[in-house]
């Protein structure tokens, strides 16, 4: 079974631009979560989508948004990029049932650098 895939793997943008990251979950997984990883803050939850609906949201500004498609693929968008948005963005998928939802499978991440 193929794992979680994320594209692109690396991205360089300049301040003020916007960016879209893509995530394809494991086949059959309906929940997709996004995280931001930085050296100082560790892994921080951005949001989670299930059946095309945002089910959970972290404490990030409205510049960070996402969506999920009917095939469970998800995209994350960051508008008006700031230097502090430079980070590794991780996508994770899981089955939707019960506590096993938290036993998520992560993709390799997209390394975003904002200049």
Partner 1 sequence: DQQVKQNSPSLSVQEGRISILNCDYTNSMFDYFLWYKKYPAEGPTFLISISSIKDKNEDGRFTVFLNKSAKHLSLHIVPSQPGDSAVYFCAASGSNYKLTFGKGTLLTVNP
Give me the residues that bind partner 1 (CB under 8 A), please.
4, 33, 35, 41-45, 48, 56, 58, 90, 92, 99, 101-109
Of 56, 34, 54, 53, nearest in space to 44 by CA: 34
In angstroms, how far is CA 37 from the centroid of its own chain? Answer: 10
Nearer to partner 1, 19 or 35 (CB): 35
| Distance in Å, CB of 51 to partner 1, minimum | 14
Nearer Cβ to partner 1, position 3 or 16?
3
Closest to partner 1 by CB, 4 or 114: 4
Task: Look at residues 50, 17, 36, 26 and name the one whose alpha carbon lies nearest to residue 110.
Answer: 36
Q: Output the smallest distance, CB 72 to partner 1, in A.
A: 17
- The CB-of-53 to partner 1 minimum distance in angstroms stands at 14
């Amino acid at each position: 079974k193929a794992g979680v895939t994320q594209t692109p793997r690396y991205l360089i943008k300049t301040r003020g631009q916007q960016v879209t990251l893509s995530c394809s979950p494991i086949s059959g997984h309906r929940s997709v979560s996004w995280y931001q990883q930085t050296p100082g803050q560790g892994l921080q939850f951005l949001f989670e989508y299930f059946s095309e609906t945002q089910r959970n949201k972290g404490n990030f500004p409205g510049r960070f948004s996402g969506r999920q498609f009917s095939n469970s693929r998800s995209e994350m968008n960051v508008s008006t990029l700031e230097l502090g948005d430079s980070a590794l963005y991780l996508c994770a998928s899981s089955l939707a049932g019960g506590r096993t939802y938290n036993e998520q499978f992560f993709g390799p991440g997209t390394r975003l650098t904002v200049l």
